[in-house]
Structure 1
Amino acid sequence: MVFNSLDFVVFIIPVFLLYWLVFSKSNIYQNLFLLAVSIFFYAWADWRFLILLLGSTLINYYLGLKIYRTPEDRKKSIFLYIGLVFNVGLLLYFKYFNFFYEGFYEILNVFGSTSTYNSLVILLPLGISFFTFQTLGYLIDVYNEEIEPSENLLDFSVFVTFFPKILSGPIERASSLLPQIKEKRVISYEVSVDGLRQILWGLFAKIVVAENCALIANPIFNNYENESGSTLLLGTFFYAIQLYADFSGYSNMAIGVSKLFGIQLMRNFSTPFFSTNISDFWRKWHMSLTTWMMDYVFTPLSFTLRRHQKKGLIISIITTFVLVGFWHGANWTFVVYGLLHGIYFIPLVFSGKMNTSEIVAKGKLLPSLKEVFKMILLFVLIMLTDVFFRVESVSVGFEYLKRIFSLSIIDLPSVLFSSTTLITSALIGFFILVEWVNREKKHDFEIGNYNIYLRWISYIFIFVLILIFGKSAETFIYFQF
């Protein structure tokens, strides 16, 4: 039941009405209803792993209380380690077992072994990377005494299973989400309308921009051996936009749906393609994952290696981004993807600009030529790196890049003047324009302060674009993670 499906529309309307008309008397009623709805929503997506989700919820709830209530530091640490082993163990088994299993046999074969193996058929539970990181962060925060654990199992269960974010995030922090769950929510017309507005923009990003980009990018990637370098370069451009529109579209819809229930999820994307350096890009791209990795991996690691100064900082950054890449999937392509992003930080470390964040053309209509140059240069770098996010093997990724930078890069792309390319390019232009205009606002389609007639013209225009150019899509790219 994806957000852009008719099933979800049929699901969300009665849920919204029942939530506010029947279950709004207290936060207990609201949370009981949200938990039931979230369980139903997850079971609809994949009922086979519902027991895993609920079991993880119960175990982490219990461990959080044990960590908090245990006075001795040594015993407190034991419960934290149990939680780390349990949660990381879930990820390692369901997501990475075959990766390490196959790697082990490949190492044996290097040393002359003739052993053979068959990959185990291990199904990947939907959302496991997201809800596991959320519960991991919760236990670490309780251990570090940054938050108190939830004494209420119902509140904690809603925190873990809340349906708008269970499948693909954002990865929420307990310090932000739990207080909202503990309090009774009151319906707000302004917040609900803003949520609908964000859903509309997310829907446009997904089924119009991302899916039309896929119509161009997929055939190019699938037939890269027979395409010119210029066509392959064009394919990387459309894939980069597809990836962003797909995931930011999901995030906007998830945040918008959550607003309908009086709960604010964290922003996950903040117009990252308007960044002028790699550090600023990662402050705006998949923000819930980036901040999680910064807090729980980079910060303690850099503190441990601080005596090595810049070398220690570089090691910490590269390690963090290798893990960011590996979080996405059990494939060396994601490791290379993360490694490259980590390497891109090295010039910033030596220049001392890693912690600086430039706001492009703040308060201005247009950026300077210098800012345009930096944005384009960074986008091309990100775009080329995304090749490893798309291909199935590292060797194919390097071969793809090699073919881009062949002599055929000066040829006209084979799909340049196709109607699909021209229409999609115009849709991307509109998409980027709206995001540019709203780059300093709380989300990409925050137009609540505009004239009412202008607002309705905008809604109708986008709705018409969805009707004319929208494509069917059964899933989102990040569902596989």
Structure 2
Amino acid sequence: MIFNSFDFALFIIPVFLLYWLILSKSAVYQNVFLLITSLVFYAWVDWRFLSLLLGSIVINFFLGKAIHTAERETRQLLFLRLGLVFNVGLLLYFKYFNFFYDNFFELLHVFGVQKSHGILHIILPLGISFFTFQNLGYLIDVYNEEIEPSNDFLQFSVFVAFFPKILSGPIERAANFIPQIQKKRIFSYQVAVDGLRQFLWGLFAKVVIAENCAVIANPIFENYENESGSTILVGAFFYTIQLYADFSGYSNMALGVSKLFGIELMRNFATPFFSTNISDFWRKWHISLTTWMMDYVFTPLSFTLRRYQKMGLLVSIIATFVLVGFWHGANWTFVVYGLLHGFYFVPLVYSGNINSSQIMAKGKWFPSVKEIIKMVLLFVLVMLTAIFFRADSVTTALNCLQKICSVTLIDFPHTVLTTITATTSILILFFIGIEWINREKKHDFEISNYHMLLRWGLYISLFLVLLFFGKSSETFIYFQF
């Protein structure tokens, strides 16, 4: 059951009505209902791993309490390490064991050891990368005394399993989420409408922008051997937009659904393509993962390497982004993806501009020529790196880049003069235009201050575009992570 499905519509309407009309008398009623709803939602998607989710909730809840109540620091550290072993162990087994298993035997083959091995079929539980990172962050925060551990098992369970974010995030922090469910939520018409508005924009991004881009990009990458460099470059452009629209669309839908229940999740995307440097880009792209990695990987690592000054800072950044890449999947393509993004920070580190971040053309209608050039160059850099994200192997990605760097780059791409390409390009311009107008607001479709006629004009336009240009999809790209 995904957000853009008919099943979800049948699911969310009665859940919303029951939550506010019958179960709004106390926070306990609301939390019990949210937990049951979340477990049903997860089981509906994949019931086989419901016990894994429940086990993770129970173990991390008691580990958090154990860390806090332990009288000696050595005992606290012991319980933290147990939590790290448990949570990282889940990821290593379900997500990465096949990768290490296959690469181990490939390494033996390189050294001349001919040893056959069977094929493992370890199924990846949906959402495991997201809820294990939430639990890891929770335990580390408790150990560092940044938060008090939850003494309410019900509240902690809702924090981990809350259905809008369980499958693909955002990776929420306990300090932000749990205080919101400790008190009774009171219905707010303005918040609910804003949630529906944000959900609508996410739905448009997913089923119109992402899915139409996929129609163009997928055939190109599936047949890249027979395509020109110019055509592959076009495919890379549409795939980059697809990736952004797919995941930001999911995130906006998740945040919108959450608002329907009076809960604010952290923003996960903040118009990243309007950035002028790679540091600013990652402050606006997959924000919940980036901030998690910065807090729990980069900060302690850079502190350890601080005596090496800029070189230590650079090593910390590259190591962090290698992990960012590897977090996305058990494939060398993701490692290279993260490594490249880490190396893109080199000029910023040595120029001292790593902390520069700003809203593009703040308070203005249009950016300067210099800002446009920087923005376009950064987009091209991100777009070329996205080829590694899309490819099934490093060799495939390098072959694509080799074609882009060949003389076939000057060939006319055959995909340009098609109806679907022209239509999708117009839709992308509309999509980017709305995000540009709202780049200084809380989310990409925050239009509450627009005139009523303009608001309804946009609503009707989106509904018509969804009706005529929307395409069905069974999943989101980030479900595989």
> How far apart are the structure 2 equivalents of 1:461 and 1:326?
40
Are residues 1:406 and 2:410 paired? no
Pairwise CA distance, 1:145? 0.2
Q: Which residue of 2 aligns with 1:421?
A: 421
Q: Which residue of 1 aligns with 2:92?
A: 92
Pairwise CA distance, 1:430? 0.2
Gapped runs of 5+ residues in structure 2?
Answer: none
Q: Which residue of 2 aligns with 1:119?
A: 119
Count of aligned residue pairs for this structure pair: 481
- Percent identity, aligned pairs only, is 71
Pairwise CA distance, 1:159? 0.3
Pairwise CA distance, 1:119? 2.6
Pairwise CA distance, 1:180? 0.6
> How far apart are the structure 2 equivalents of 1:110 and 1:290?
36
Q: Which residue of 2 aligns with 1:54?
A: 54
> How far apart are the structure 1 equivalents of 2:118 and 2:303?
42
Q: Which residue of 1 aligns with 2:368?
A: 368
User: Contact between 2:255 and 2:267, CA under 8 Å: does it hold in 1?
Assistant: yes
> How far apart are the structure 1 equivalents of 2:308 and 2:25?
57
Q: Which residue of 2 aligns with 1:180?
A: 180
> How far apart are the structure 2 equivalents of 1:203 and 1:181?
27
Pairwise CA distance, 1:361? 0.5
Secondary structure at the aligned position of 1:122 is classed as coil
Secondary structure at the aligned position of 1:186 is classed as coil
For residues 150-200 of structure 1, what are the alpha-carbon distances to aligned partners after superposition, in whole Å with 9 as ceiling and x for unaligned? 000000000000000000000000000010111110010000000000000
Q: Which residue of 2 aligns with 1:25?
A: 25
> How far apart are the structure 2 equivalents of 1:421 and 1:111?
48
What amino acid sits opposite 1:197 in the alignment?
R
Pairwise CA distance, 1:110? 2.0
User: Contact between 2:359 and 2:439, CA under 8 Å: does it hold in 1?
Assistant: no
Q: TM-score, normalised by structure 2?
A: 1.00
Over the aligned positions, Cα root-mean-square deviation in angstroms equals 0.5
Gapped runs of 5+ residues in structure 1?
Answer: none
Q: Which residue of 2 aligns with 1:235?
A: 235
Q: Which residue of 2 aligns with 1:298?
A: 298
> How far apart are the structure 2 equivalents of 1:360 and 1:460?
29
> How far apart are the structure 1 equivalents of 2:112 and 2:457?
69
Pairwise CA distance, 1:360? 1.1
Pairwise CA distance, 1:279? 0.1
Q: Which residue of 1 aligns with 2:315?
A: 315
> How far apart are the structure 2 equivalents of 1:114 and 1:399?
29
Q: TM-score, normalised by structure 1?
A: 1.00
> How far apart are the structure 2 equivalents of 1:33 and 1:385?
43
Pairwise CA distance, 1:105? 1.3
> How far apart are the structure 1 equivalents of 2:106 and 2:322?
21
User: Contact between 2:129 and 2:327, CA under 8 Å: does it hold in 1?
Assistant: yes
Pairwise CA distance, 1:359? 2.1
Pairwise CA distance, 1:28? 0.1
Pairwise CA distance, 1:108? 1.6
Secondary structure at the aligned position of 1:373 is classed as helix
> How far apart are the structure 2 equivalents of 1:148 and 1:55?
22
> How far apart are the structure 1 equivalents of 2:262 and 2:116?
55
What is the 5 A alignment of 1:45-84? Answer: 45-84=45-84
What amino acid sits opposite 1:206 in the alignment?
K
> How far apart are the structure 2 equivalents of 1:160 and 1:234?
40
Pairwise CA distance, 1:358? 2.8
User: Contact between 2:95 and 2:329, CA under 8 Å: does it hold in 1?
Assistant: yes
Pairwise CA distance, 1:426? 0.2
Pairwise CA distance, 1:104? 1.4
Q: Which residue of 1 aligns with 2:263?
A: 263
Secondary structure at the aligned position of 1:443 is classed as coil
Q: Which residue of 2 aligns with 1:44?
A: 44
Q: Which residue of 2 aligns with 1:337?
A: 337
Secondary structure at the aligned position of 2:414 is classed as coil
> How far apart are the structure 2 equivalents of 1:417 and 1:182?
56
Secondary structure at the aligned position of 2:117 is classed as coil
Pairwise CA distance, 1:452? 1.1
Are residues 1:16 and 2:21 paired? no
Q: Which residue of 1 aligns with 2:384?
A: 384
> How far apart are the structure 1 equivalents of 2:131 and 2:394?
29
